[in-house]
C-alpha cells in the first residue's frame, strides 16, 4: 500500500473575506505577507513588458533558457520565428493551412455580390465627398487589397463610407472650394488621407486604441443619426437637380437652400427617376431584411438601378430634358498621387487636424463593425492590429489616388450574408472594381445623378437606430445626454462640432465620477464574513466599535482626495439620530475606522497626504485608522511614504481580518 499523502494547506483570500473551507491563517501573518510583498513593476518595466508581449511571438520567449542542440535545429527555430512574425504582420498567410476549394467558391460569390453593391455606392460616396466618381472606385481597389493582407477580420468589407465622405466635404470645403479649384481640393483630400493613415497606424503601433473609446457608444449612436439626416438632406441636390446648393452642412442652411430652389427651373424627370428607384431600393432592402435567404435582392438592387436608369436615359435622351447625368468617368487603374500631397503648404496644419478627426471616426466604425461580426462567428480581433492595417491601407491609398477608406456596416452585412469565408472576398471585390475601371466606365456616362442620390438615401435607415437611443435613455441618462448632444451638434452646427460636444459630455461624465466618487458605509452580512453596502443590503449590520467605509474610486489622487476625506469624516460623524460624534454614548462610540481600499488601484502624493490628515483628525476623536485590502501599487506607495509606520502597521489583507485583529479575535485562527 502507498503511504498517506502529506498534509497541505491552501489559503484562498478575497478582498473581503476568507472562503469557507480554506484553512485560515493568522491575521498577523497575512498582514506581514502584504507589507513584505515585492515592489510592483516600474513604469519603464511595464512599457518594456507590453512591447515584449505584443511585438515578440510567444514561441520565441516560451523557453528562453532552452539550449539549441544542433545547428540544424537552430536554423529551423529561426525559420519558424520568421514565419511566425510574417503571419503576425500578414494574417492572410495563415489561410494556406485550412483553405479549400469550397471556401474559395463562397469567397468568390461573396466578392462578386459585394462588388455589385460597392460600385454604385462608391460613385455616390465620391459625389458626397465632392470628388469625381472615379475616386470612389479607386478607393474600392487599393485599400481592400492592403487590408486583405494585413487585417484580421474575415467579414469586414473595406471601401468609402457615407459618414467619412460627409465629414471630409464638410471640413475641407471651409479650407478649399471644390467647385472653384477641384484640383487643389483633391490634393487636400489626399493629404488628409495620408495624415489619417499615419494617425491610425500610430494608434496601433503605440497601442493607443483606448483613444478611440473616448467616443462612447451613446455618442456614436447620436453622431450617426445626425450624420444620416444631414447626408439625406444633402441628396436633395441630386434628387431635385438643384444647381446653386449651399456648401454648409447644418440642417438650417440645407433646408434654406432647398426652399430658395423653389424659384429655380424645375425638371420633374429627375424627381420621377430618383423617387421611383428609391422606392425600388427600399422594397428590395425590406425583402432582404425579412428573408435572409434573399439577401442578394437588396445587394444587387443598386447595380440594377444604375443599369436600368442609365438605359432609360440613354434611350430616351432624357439628359436633353434636364436630367443631370454623371458624364465622363475616367478609365484606367489608380494613378500615383504622391506628387499631389501638400506637405509644404500653409494648410498642412489644418489637414493634420482634419486627418485626426477623420481617423478616429473611421477607426471607430471599422472596429465596431469588425468586432460585431467576429463575435457572431466566434473569434476575436485585435483592435491594435486592426488600426495598423487600416492605417497602412490609408497611407498607401493616399499615394494611389484614394481617399479615406474604412469598414462599411452595410457592405459587411452583405458580405457576411453572402457566405464569405475569409478576406479573399475583399480581393475578389477589388479585382472586379479594377475590371470595371479598365473596361466599363464609359457605360456610366448616362447614369443620372438622381439614382446616385437614391442609392445613398436607401442606405441611410441603417444609420438611424431609434431603438438603441431609447434603450440608452432607459439605462443611463448621462449617456443619453451625450447621444443627444452629438445628434443636435451635428444637425444644427457641423459634424466636427457634434463630435466635440459628444466627447466633451463624455469627459464631463468621467470627471464627475472621478472627482465626486462614492464612499459607502459597509456592514457584515449575517452568518458570513462578507462586508457589503448597508444601503444596498439592509440586512447588513454594523460591528460594534467600528466604522467601516469603502472608497468607490479606482484613483485616490489630487482631483478627489479632499472630497473623499470630507466624505469619510461625514460618514464617521453621522449618528443614527443625526447627532454629532461628541454626543454618542461610550458604547456606540467607534474606536476604529477601517478604510476598505479594495477598489483603489492607484494613489498619488495628494492621496497619501489626505490619508495622513484623516489619521490626525481621527486621533483627535480617539479613533484609530486601519487600511484594508490595498492593491499592489497602493501598499508600495504607503510604505515608501512611511504612512504604514504612522498608523502602527494597521494594514490588513481584508476587512474581515481588520475587524478580527482589532477585536482580539485573531487568536482563534489555528497556526498553519
Q: What percent of the chain is predicted at pLDDT more than 70?
A: 85
d(CA 323, CA 314): 11
pLDDT (average), residues 324-343? 90
Write down the pLDDT at residue 23: 47
CB 326 within 8 A of CB 451: no
CB 136 within 8 A of CB 328: no
CB 343 within 8 A of CB 399: no
Write down the pLDDT at residue 588: 55
d(CA 602, CA 595): 15
pLDDT band at 339 (very low <50, low <70, confident <90, very high): very high
pLDDT (average), residues 216-239? 85
Helix, strand, or coil (residue 604): coil
Write down the pLDDT at residue 402: 96
Would you say residue 222 has pLDDT above 70?
yes
pLDDT digit string, tens, across residues 268-295:
888 889 899 999 999 998 998 888 788 8
C-alpha cell at 583: 454626543
Write down the pLDDT at residue 461: 84
Nearest to 143 by CA among 135, 228, 224, 132: 135
d(CA 254, CA 248): 7
Choice between 13 and 345, residue whose per-residue pLDDT is larger: 345
508-521 burial code (b ≥16 CB/10 A, e <16): ebeeeeeeebebbb
Write down the pLDDT at residue 95: 75
Write down the pLDDT at residue 430: 95
CB 148 within 8 A of CB 423: yes
pLDDT digit string, tens, across residues 174-215:
889 898 899 999 999 999 999 999 999 999 888 777 767 667
Which pTM does this prediction carry?
0.74
Name 216's Cβ contacts closer than 8 Å, sequence gap at least 6: 479, 482, 502, 506
CB 204 within 8 A of CB 360: no
Distance separating the N- and C-terminal Cα atoms of the chain: 28
Helix-, strand-, coil-residue percentages of the chain, each rounded to 5: 65, 5, 30
Write down the pLDDT at residue 156: 92
CB 361 within 8 A of CB 165: no
Write down the pLDDT at residue 142: 96
Q: Domain limits of the chain?
A: 99-509, 517-662
Write down the pLDDT at residue 143: 96
Where does residue 652 fall: left (phi above 0), alpha (psi -120 to 50 degrees), or beta otherwise? beta
Q: What mean pLDDT value characterizes the chain?
A: 82
C-alpha cell at 451: 439614382
pLDDT digit string, tens, across residues 112-161:
999 999 999 999 999 999 999 999 999 999 999 999 999 888 899 999 99
Would you say residue 227 has pLDDT above 50?
yes
306-331 burial code (b ≥16 CB/10 A, e <16): bbebbebbeeeebbeeebbbbeebee
Would you say residue 455 has pLDDT above 60?
yes
Would you say residue 429 has pLDDT above 90?
yes
pLDDT band at 586 (very low <50, low <70, confident <90, very high): very low
Out of 50-64, 71-85, 535-549, give the one with best mean pLDDT.
Answer: 535-549
pLDDT band at 4 (very low <50, low <70, confident <90, very high): very low
**Domain 517-662, architecture per CATH:** 2-Layer Sandwich (3.30)
Helix, strand, or coil (residue 21): coil
pLDDT (average), residues 554-578? 77
Write down the pLDDT at residue 454: 92
Amino acid at each position: 500500500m502507498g503511504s498517506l499523502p502529506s498534509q497541505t494547506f491552501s489559503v484562498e483570500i478575497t478582498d473581503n473575506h476568507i472562503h469557507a473551507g480554506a484553512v485560515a491563517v493568522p491575521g498577523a501573518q497575512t498582514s506581514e505577507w502584504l507589507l513584505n510583498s515585492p515592489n510592483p513593476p516600474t513604469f519603464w518595466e511595464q512599457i518594456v513588458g507590453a512591447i515584449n508581449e505584443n511585438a515578440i511571438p510567444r514561441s520565441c520567449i516560451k523557453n528562453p533558457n532552452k539550449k539549441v542542440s544542433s545547428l540544424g535545429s537552430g536554423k529551423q527555430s529561426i525559420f519558424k520565428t520568421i514565419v511566425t512574425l510574417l503571419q503576425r504582420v500578414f494574417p492572410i498567410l495563415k489561410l494556406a493551412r485550412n483553405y479549400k476549394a469550397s471556401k474559395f467558391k463562397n469567397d468568390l460569390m461573396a466578392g462578386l455580390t459585394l462588388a455589385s453593391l460597392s460600385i454604385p455606392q462608391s460613385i455616390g460616396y465620391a459625389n458626397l465627398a465632392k470628388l469625381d466618381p472615379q475616386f470612389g472606385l479607386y478607393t474600392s481597389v487599393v485599400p481592400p487589397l492592403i487590408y486583405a493582407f494585413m487585417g484580421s477580420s474575415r467579414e469586414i468589407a473595406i471601401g468609402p463610407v457615407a459618414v467619412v465622405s460627409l465629414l471630409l466635404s464638410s471640413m475641407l470645403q471651409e479650407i478649399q472650394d471644390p467647385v472653384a479649384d477641384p484640383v487643389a481640393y483633391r490634393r487636400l483630400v489626399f493629404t488628409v488621407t495620408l495624415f489619417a493613415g499615419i494617425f491610425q497606424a500610430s494608434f496601433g503601433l503605440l497601442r493607443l486604441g483606448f483613444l478611440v473609446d473616448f467616443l462612447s457608444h451613446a455618442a456614436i449612436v447620436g453622431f450617426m443619426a445626425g450624420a444620416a439626416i444631414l447626408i439625406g438632406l444633402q441628396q436633395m441636390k441630386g434628387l431635385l437637380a438643384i444647381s446653386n446648393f449651399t456648401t454648409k452642412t447644418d440642417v438650417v442652411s440645407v433646408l434654406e437652400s432647398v426652399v430658395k430652389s423653389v424659384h429655380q427651373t424645375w425638371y420633374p424627370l429627375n424627381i420621377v427617376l430618383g423617387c421611383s428607384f428609391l422606392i425600388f431600393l427600399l422594397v428590395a432592402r425590406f425583402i432582404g431584411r425579412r428573408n435572409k435567404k434573399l439577401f442578394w435582392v437588396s445587394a444587387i438592387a443598386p447595380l440594377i438601378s444604375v443599369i436600368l436608369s442609365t438605359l432609360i436615359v440613354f434611350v430616351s435622351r432624357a439628359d436633353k430634358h434636364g436630367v443631370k447625368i454623371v458624364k465622363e468617368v475616367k478609365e484606367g487603374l489608380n494613378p500615383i498621387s504622391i506628387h499631389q500631397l501638400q506637405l509644404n503648404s500653409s494648410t498642412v496644419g489644418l489637414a493634420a487636424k482634419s486627418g485626426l478627426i477623420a481617423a478616429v471616426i473611421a477607426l471607430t466604425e471599422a472596429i465596431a463593425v469588425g468586432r460585431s461580426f467576429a463575435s457572431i462567428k466566434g473569434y476575436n480581433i485585435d483592435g491594435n492590429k486592426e488600426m495598423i492595417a487600416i492605417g497602412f491601407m490609408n497611407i498607401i491609398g493616399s499615394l494611389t489616388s484614394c481617399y479615406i477608406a474604412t469598414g462599411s456596416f452595410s457592405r459587411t452585412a452583405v458580405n457576411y450574408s453572402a457566405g464569405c469565408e475569409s478576406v479573399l472576398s475583399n480581393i475578389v471585390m477589388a479585382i472586379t472594381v479594377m475590371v470595371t475601371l479598365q473596361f466599363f466606365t464609359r457605360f456610366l456616362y448616362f447614369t443620372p445623378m438622381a439614382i446616385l442620390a437614391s442609392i445613398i438615401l436607401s442606405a441611410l435607415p441603417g444609420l438611424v437606430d431609434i431603438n438603441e437611443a431609447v434603450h440608452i435613455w432607459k439605462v443611463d441618462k448621462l449617456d443619453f445626454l451625450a447621444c443627444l448632444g452629438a445628434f443636435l451638434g451635428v444637425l444644427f452646427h457641423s459634424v466636427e462640432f457634434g463630435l466635440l460636444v459628444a466627447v466633451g459630455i463624455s469627459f464631463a461624465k468621467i470627471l464627475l465620477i472621478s472627482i465626486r466618487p462614492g464612499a459607502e458605509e459597509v456592514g457584515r452580512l449575517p452568518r458570513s464574513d462578507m462586508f457589503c453596502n448597508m444601503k444596498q443590503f439592509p440586512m447588513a449590520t454594523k460591528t460594534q466599535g467600528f466604522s467601516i467605509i469603502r472608497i468607490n474610486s479606482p484613483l485616490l489622487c489630487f482631483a478627489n482626495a479632499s472630497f473623499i476625506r470630507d466624505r469619510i469624516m461625514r460618514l464617521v460623524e453621522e449618528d443614527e439620530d443625526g447627532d454629532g460624534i461628541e454626543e454618542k454614548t461610550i458604547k456606540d462610540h467607534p474606536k476604529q475606522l477601517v478604510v476598505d481600499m479594495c477598489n483603489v488601484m492607484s494613489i498619488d502624493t495628494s492621496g497619501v497626504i489626505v490619508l495622513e490628515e484623516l489619521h490626525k483628525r481621527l486621533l483627535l476623536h480617539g479613533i484609530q485608522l486601519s487600511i484594508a485590502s490595498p492593491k499592489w501599487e497602493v501598499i508600495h506607495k504607503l510604505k515608501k511614504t512611511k504612512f504604514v509606520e504612522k498608523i502602527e502597521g494597521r494594514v490588513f489583507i481584508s476587512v474581515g481580518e481588520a475587524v478580527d485583529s482589532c477585536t482580539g479575535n485573531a487568536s482563534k485562527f489555528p497556526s498553519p
